[in-house]
Amino acid sequence: MKRRLLTIIMVVLALTLSVLGFVFGGFDLTNLQKETLNILVIVCGISMAYCFIVGELSGNNSQMDKLWSILPIAYAWIVAVKGSMHPRLIVMALLITIWGVRLTLNFAKKGAYSFKFWAGEEDYRWIVLRKDPKLNKKWKWALFDLVFISVFQNALVLAITLPLLAVMESAMAFNIFDGLIAALLLGFIILETIADRQQMSFQTKKYSLLKEGKSLKDLPAPYNLGFNTQGLWERSRHPNYFSEQAIWIVLYLFTISAGVASYIFFNWTLVGAMVLILLFMGSSLFSENISLSKYPMYKDYIHKVSKYVPLRRYNKIK
């Protein structure tokens, strides 16, 4: 009941902030911003078509997953170049590039990319979802692929990078607040890197032990749980998700330091980060339901460890 109430509160808050961003932030774009946005939308549209067509023809629906960390880099540098390489835009684009390169390499380690661009390891969640009775007919899955995977996720990736568009003609010089925001964003990138490495290390070791012919319950602790409870994962069920959401919220703060946010806080580009939060709420709920069905102790883990913000340590039932 407590988890459900918290979810409802988060949804209402995210939607409210999105609406306030448009109401108080306005939606007036200069000619340069409109010209730049048109370019971004064209790239986004091409990516939508690519993800849907290739995903359906190949049967691998991780095409958007492969582009998730690449497209923001392209969007960021398009805006930076169109914005005459303003120092603030360069810093924002560099941070997004660091984020994107790291995430791309991390995804590549999982076998997601292949010389056959349509092939590679597919995200396990799509495999599970295709078996869902609500989506297991070909036309239903194709519709889901079109609307959610190809169109919605591409639009969201564009939306989370739009704070660059908002600040591209700011008359305010790069200042100390920009520097603090950049340092904070880099900190969350580092935190996400640590979380991903800890998870990969745990899962690699667990599957290595399982390949030796041992059953899960016979593995040494903590691998016998089936899920990671070490490092950051001892205090947060999704430290990587927490960092990812924080990265794009912090990127939005550049609109405040650049003086383009109305009433100090609001700008219409806030909607990207807010919708991303909603997406991760759904994604984390889905992945946790899978874990609950596989690992008996995961329910105890949920009750003792916060979902995102690293807080209490996990103490396993003896």
Q: pLDDT tens across 191-244, in order? A: 999 999 999 999 999 999 999 888 888 899 899 999 999 999 999 999 999 999
> In this model, does residue 18 exceed pLDDT 80?
no
* CB-based contact 189:102 (threshold 8 Å): yes
State yes or no: pLDDT of 64 exceeds 80.
yes
For residue 317, pLDDT over 70 is answered with no
Residue holding tokens 């591409």? Answer: 154
Write the CB contacts of 254 (distance below 8 Å, at least 6 apart in sequence). 88, 92, 163, 164, 167, 178, 181
Q: What is the pLDDT of residues 65-74, one digit of tens each?
A: 999 999 999 9
The number of residues making up the chain comes to 318
**What percent of the chain stands above pLDDT 90?**
69
- Asked if 228 contacts 200 with a C-beta cutoff of 8 angstroms, the reply is no
pLDDT of residue 90: 98
Check whether 318 has a pLDDT greater than 60: no
What is the pLDDT at residue 100?
97
Task: Identify which has the larger pLDDT, 94 or 24.
Answer: 94
pTM of the predicted protein model: 0.91
Cβ–Cβ contacts within 10 Å for residue 135, how many? 16
Q: Which helix (H) or strand (E) holds 91?
A: helix 87-109
| Measured distance CA(140)–CA(215) in Å, rounded | 37
Say what the pLDDT of residue 7 is. 67
Q: What would the 3-class secondary structure string for 144-210 be?
A: HHHHHHHHHHHHHHHHHCCHHHHHCCCCCCCCHHHHHHHHHHHHHHHHHHHHHHHHHHHHHHHHHHH
**pLDDT > 70? residue 156:** yes
Structure tokens at 310: 């690293």
Q: What whole-number distance in Å separates Cα of residue 250 and Cα of residue 246?
A: 6
Give the up-direction half-sphere exposure of residue 239: CA atoms within 13 A in the CB hemisphere.
Answer: 26
What integer is the mean pLDDT of 56-65?
A: 93
